[in-house]
Amino acid sequence: MVAAALVITARLGYWQMARHDDLGELAVNLRERTMTEYAKRGDIITSDGVLLATDIFYYEVTAHPRLIQNPKEQAQVLAPILNLSEAELVEKLSDQRQQTVMLTLTAPVTAGKQLTALRNAGKIGAIEFVAKPQRRYPGGSLAAHLVGFTSASRSGAYGVEQYFDELLRGRDGQIRAEADALGDEALPFDLPQGSPALNGSSLVLTINSALQSIAEREVARGVQEFGARSGQILILDPQTGKILALASYPAPDLNAFATTKLDAYADPAVSLPYEPGSVFKAFTLAAGLDSGKISRGIVLNDPGSVVIGGRAIYNSDRKGYGNVDLVAAMAKSLNVIASKIALATGPKTFYQYLHDLGFGTLSNVDLAGEIPGTVKNPGDGIWYESDLGTNSFGQGIAVTPLQMANALAVIANGGKLMRPYIVERIIHPDGSVEARSPYMVRRVLKPETAAQVTDILSRSILTESTNKANLPGYTIAGKTGTAQIPVPGGYDPKWTIASFGGYLPADNPQYVILVKIDRPQKSPWGSQVASPIFAAVAQQIAQLTGLPPDDIRKAMSK
Amino acid sequence: MQALPLLSTLRFALVAIAAFILVAMVYLAQASNAALIARELRVKQLKIQEVERENAQLRYEIAALASPSAIEQRARKLGLGPAKRVVYAEMPWIQPPPNELMPAFLPDANFDIVPQTFQADESATLAQLLSVLGLKNLSAYVDAQTK
């Protein structure tokens, strides 16, 4: 008896003292579970409050067929809630070979409430349902390229989704709570322990949904009307560098990223370089005037060709125009005069201006995938003297549409290079707001030079009879471009990139607009393809924003 | 004579037991109350989570219905289209805040702007506006009323 008592006492001592900790832990683990509490990724909103991206919750519903006694009855109850057929459910719930079967990944959030009620009423059993966030884009393809998307693994890809991924994603929580045998927190006896989820910060963009819609509609119409392959329209606030709209066509549906080719999401406005063609002459002109190598009243002779570095440069129509002033040179888009201005400016100064205008370097816009473009410089080893001539009219140089629009903004705003930006405010989960301010990178042009270039560009548009960029009632400044497309061994003999870059109103620029249409079939010319699109966009902007025509605006300001 | 200490010990034991029971009851009541409150709190936390999720769903649905393309489609179905003519009127007695200067969203724009300056006289401007809107009769009535 004594021995038996001693054995029992020793055994009890062993269980109670020696194994106290691990057995206690085992007991806790039986009634408690560590569960992931998913963080809600931050919203992306336009400056006028239109929701572009948000997280919504779906329930993942799984079943344990071996524990289900009455699959038919359960299927009957579950079918309308999960939006599945009863037969399909019966088959899944009766599959005794499987320990766990997935019923659906996308039961709506309302299903969770119904499932909880049914479980509490004892009408369903051995069913697990876990709410998980999924990224959704209410506008579909609205601002698709600049928003980007969030993959199934919850990582941002492209656009602001990628650039601000760390801020947007937040942090998933790990909570420990009492749960039933299936891991569901069916009986919340106590407050859960652990680290709760921390939701991500939300982003308020600089873009305006109405301006974005106008840009998207017009670029789509332009591409379709002229049988082009693709196109972009950018609208910038030249005073601040705010991107007001950035549209590319074709644009992918952000909700269909799983079935869309990834390269469709790359933003051509920052990721796809192109040779800009004659729009670039505005910068050659600015460099010549600002450096003092040419004056506003200069008259230059155009014999029809000029030889630079042993290479003859001609006008696009191979004609010579004799003595021309700067307005005529811009209106007729004379390559020979642009080359002569670049020659007068000198390579060192000319390329310094190009660099200062932001070409060949990243603009540091807050969008993923930006590339710097290509500008050859004297002394590079790949630069030839003839490049000075061809670069002066936008050939042999690769830029992004955003660099072009931002450099035009330098002329429009009086000579300052602003850093373009897309995120205006960051709203943190604690409610604090981080406002982002315009940032001036450097002064590039003297205000007088910028005013002179604006004057020349606006006069040249008025005198260019074939240009369709004019907008009745408003003075605009801008330049057309018809660029050849480089291919291995030279230039594509058939296709062009038609573009127009301009701003309005010319005397107090508020909107810089760049229109770029890639490989138009009906006409190769920027003045015929891109200019009317510019005018349509400018007209709608003026009406939408209540920008009065010049005469009324001037009368109002008196 | 020996009964007294026994009674005293018994009393002491009874008091001690009663005190122990009282303390235990208070402890149990408090512990049970704390557990109830914790449970209520957790139920409310889960309810908040549920409502937040429903709210997110509704926000998404509203945003999808109110997206520019959805509004444009609905506007077109209602027979709305681009303005055919835009008239600018000077009305110095009205100073709307700048954010109210934005007119309705325009789905299409293939029309010319015809700038038109009006005199700063209230009745004349109103009459011209009515005239532009094709309400000349009403314009004459307004003239008669204002004279």
Cα gap A218→A507, rounded to integer Å: 25
Write the DSSP string, A449-482.
HHHHHHHHHHHHHHH-TT----BTTB--EEEEEE
Q: What is the pLDDT of residue A250?
A: 95
Cβ atoms of A421 and A458 closer than 8 Å: no
Q: What is the pLDDT of residue B69?
A: 87
Kindly state the average pLDDT of the residues B121-135. 56
Cα gap A291→A297, rounded to integer Å: 15
Kindly state the average pLDDT of the residues B104-131. 43
Kindly state the average pLDDT of the residues A544-558. 80
Q: A512 pLDDT exceeds 90?
A: yes
| Cβ neighbours of B43 in A, within 8 Å | 188
Q: A90 pLDDT exceeds 90?
A: yes
Cβ atoms of A530 and A517 closer than 8 Å: yes
Percent of chain B predicted with pLDDT > 90: 26
Identify the DSSP state of A298: -
Nearest Cβ partner for A138 among B41, B54, B63: B63
In terms of pLDDT, which residue wins out, A189 or A186? A189
Nearest Cβ partner for A56 among B57, B66, B67: B57
Binning pLDDT at 50, 70 and 90, where does residue B136 land?
A: low
B68/A212 Cβ within 8 A: yes
How far B113 CA lies from chain A's nearest CA (Å)?
6
Mean pLDDT rounded to a whole number for chain B: 71
Binning pLDDT at 50, 70 and 90, where does residue A522 land?
A: very high
- Tell me which residue of A496, A498, A528, A500 sits closest to A514, measured CA to CA: A500
- List of residues 6+ apart from A8 with CB closer than 8 A: none
Binning pLDDT at 50, 70 and 90, where does residue B109 land?
A: very low
Nearest Cβ partner for B42 among A109, A188, A540: A188
- Size (chain A), residues: 558
Q: A399 pLDDT exceeds 90?
A: yes
Could you tell me where in chain A the CATH 3.40.710.10 domains are found? 209-557
**Among A552, A554, A557, A558, the residue to mutate for chain B (most B Cβ within 10 A):** A552
- Tell me which residue of A217, A220, A543 sits closest to B73, measured CA to CA: A217
Q: What is the pLDDT of residue A467?
A: 74
Q: Is A211 on the interface with B (CB under 8 A)?
A: no
Write the DSSP string, A479-535.
EEEEEEEEETTEEEEEEEEEEEEEEESTTS--EEEEEEEES-SS---HHHHHHHHHH
Residue A487: C-alpha distances to residues A10, A245, A310, A313, A496 (Å): 89, 30, 23, 20, 12
Binning pLDDT at 50, 70 and 90, where does residue B118 land?
A: very low
Q: A163 pLDDT exceeds 90?
A: yes
Q: Is A396 on the interface with B (CB under 8 A)?
A: no
Helices A385-392 and A335-345 meet at what angle, rounded to 10?
Answer: 130
For residue A41, what is the nearest residue in chain B, using CA coordinates? B56
Range scoring the smallest mean pLDDT among A14-18, A207-211, A226-230, A234-238? A14-18
Binning pLDDT at 50, 70 and 90, where does residue B4 land?
A: low
How far B103 CA lies from chain A's nearest CA (Å)?
6
- List of residues 6+ apart from A446 with CB closer than 8 A: A290, A415
Cα gap A468→A471, rounded to integer Å: 8
Kindly state the average pLDDT of the residues A150-176. 93
Q: Which helix (H) or strand (E) holds A21?
A: helix A20-31
Identify the sign of the CA torsion B128, B133, B137, B138: negative
**Among A539, A551, A553, A557, the residue to mutate for chain B (most B Cβ within 10 A):** A539
Q: What is the pLDDT of residue A442?
A: 97
| Cβ neighbours of A548 in B, within 8 Å | 88
- Count Cβ atoms within 10 A of the Cβ of residue A340 and give its class: 0-12 exposed, 13-18 middle, 19 or more buried: buried
B60/A552 Cβ within 8 A: no
- Tell me which residue of A242, A248, A245 sits closest to A420, measured CA to CA: A242
Backbone phi and psi for residue A243, each to the nearest 5 degrees, phi listed first: -85, 115
Cα gap A332→A312, rounded to integer Å: 19
| Cβ neighbours of A119 in B, within 8 Å | none
How far B145 CA lies from chain A's nearest CA (Å)?
29
Amino acid at A141: S
Cβ atoms of A137 and A260 closer than 8 Å: no
Cα gap B1→A547, rounded to integer Å: 113
Q: What is the three-state SS of A366-399?
A: CCCCCCCCECCCCCCCCCCHHHHHHHHCCCCCEE
Nearest Cβ partner for A545 among B39, B56, B102: B102
B105/A544 Cβ within 8 A: yes
Percent of chain A predicted with pLDDT > 70: 97
Identify the DSSP state of A229: S
Identify the DSSP state of A154: S
How far A190 CA lies from chain B's nearest CA (Å)?
5
Q: What is the pLDDT of residue B104?
A: 33
Kindly state the average pLDDT of the residues A10-27. 87
Cα gap A383→A129, rounded to integer Å: 64
Range scoring the smallest mean pLDDT among A49-63, A119-133, A208-222, A316-330? A119-133
Kindly state the average pLDDT of the residues B86-109. 48
Q: Is A109 on the interface with B (CB under 8 A)?
A: yes
| Cβ neighbours of A56 in B, within 8 Å | 53, 56-57, 60
Range scoring the smallest mean pLDDT among A136-150, A464-478, A523-537? A464-478
Range scoring the smallest mean pLDDT among A147-156, A324-333, B31-40? B31-40
Q: B86 pLDDT exceeds 80?
A: no
Nearest Cβ partner for A539 among B67, B113, B117: B113
Which ranges of A173-325 does DSSP label H, i.e. alpha helix?
A: 209-225, 268-271, 281-290
pLDDT of A320-367, one tens digit each? 999 999 999 999 999 999 999 999 999 999 999 999 999 999 999 999
Cβ atoms of A39 and A131 closer than 8 Å: no
Name the maximum alpha-carbon separation found in chain B.
126
Residue A415: C-alpha distances to residues A290, A337, A443, A449 (Å): 10, 23, 6, 8
Kindly state the average pLDDT of the residues B90-100. 53
For residue B35, what is the nearest residue in chain A, using CA coordinates? A190
Q: Is A555 on the interface with B (CB under 8 A)?
A: yes
Cα gap A322→A336, rounded to integer Å: 11
Q: What is the pLDDT of residue B125?
A: 54
SS3 A89: helix
| Cβ neighbours of A131 in B, within 8 Å | 53
A50/B66 Cβ within 8 A: yes
For residue B54, what is the nearest residue in chain A, using CA coordinates? A109
Amino acid at A49: G
Q: What is the pLDDT of residue A130?
A: 87
Q: What is the pLDDT of residue A480?
A: 94
Whose structure tokens read 């390329």?
A: A351
- Count Cβ atoms within 10 A of the Cβ of residue A336 and give its class: 0-12 exposed, 13-18 middle, 19 or more buried: buried
Cβ atoms of A222 and A231 closer than 8 Å: yes
Residue A143 falls in which region: left (phi positive, over 0), alpha (psi -120 to 50) or beta: left
CB pairs under 8 A between A and B: 120
Q: What is the pLDDT of residue A315?
A: 94
- Tell me which residue of A326, A298, A291 sits closest to A457, measured CA to CA: A326
Kindly state the average pLDDT of the residues B57-61. 93
Q: What is the pLDDT of residue B116?
A: 37
How far B136 CA lies from chain A's nearest CA (Å)?
25
Mean pLDDT rounded to a whole number for chain A: 91
Amino acid at A371: I
B107/A217 Cβ within 8 A: yes
**Among B39, B55, B72, B88, the residue to mutate for chain A (most A Cβ within 10 A):** B88
How far B1 CA lies from chain A's nearest CA (Å)?
43
Q: Is A339 on the interface with B (CB under 8 A)?
A: no
B101/A189 Cβ within 8 A: no
Range scoring the smallest mean pLDDT among A35-44, A147-156, A509-518, B85-94? B85-94
pLDDT of A250-268, one tens digit each? 999 999 988 888 889 999 9
In terms of pLDDT, which residue wins out, A539 or A34? A539
Amino acid at A290: D
Q: A459 pLDDT exceeds 80?
A: yes
Kindly state the average pLDDT of the residues A134-157. 93
Kindly state the average pLDDT of the residues A166-179. 87
B39/A189 Cβ within 8 A: yes
pLDDT of A480-489, one tens digit each? 999 999 998 8
Q: Is B136 on the interface with A (CB under 8 A)?
A: no
Kindly state the average pLDDT of the residues A274-286. 97
Cα gap A152→A157, rounded to integer Å: 11
Kindly state the average pLDDT of the residues A284-307. 95
Which token pair is A254? 């952000």
Q: Are strands A156-157 and A149-150 parallel, antiparallel or unpaired?
A: antiparallel
Cα gap A371→A355, rounded to integer Å: 15
Binning pLDDT at 50, 70 and 90, where does residue B123 land?
A: low
Q: Are strands A101-107 and A149-150 parallel, antiparallel or unpaired?
A: unpaired
- List of residues 6+ apart from B6 with CB closer than 8 A: none
How far A264 CA lies from chain B's nearest CA (Å)?
20
Buried b (16+ CB within 10 A) or exposed e, B2-37: eeeeeeeeeeeeeeeeeeeeeeeeeeeeeeeeeeee
Kindly state the average pLDDT of the residues A429-439. 93
Kindly state the average pLDDT of the residues A441-460. 96
Which token pair is B50? 């549920």
In terms of pLDDT, which residue wins out, A276 or B94? A276
Residues 91-120 of B with CB under 8 A from A: 98, 101-103, 105-110, 112-113, 115, 117
Q: Give me the CATH code for the A209-557 domain, please.
A: 3.40.710.10
Binning pLDDT at 50, 70 and 90, where does residue A439 land?
A: very high
- Tell me which residue of A160, A153, A151 sits closest to A370, measured CA to CA: A160
How far A440 CA lies from chain B's nearest CA (Å)?
26
Cβ atoms of A364 and A436 closer than 8 Å: no
| Cβ neighbours of A539 in B, within 8 Å | 109, 113
Beta-ladder partners of A322: A302
SS3 B142: helix
Kindly state the average pLDDT of the residues A5-33. 86
Residues 27-66 of A with CB under 8 A from B: 40, 50-51, 54-57
Cα gap A459→A146, rounded to integer Å: 34
Beta-ladder partners of A480: A500
Which token pair is A507? 């005397």
Q: Are strands A490-504 and A477-487 parallel, antiparallel or unpaired?
A: antiparallel
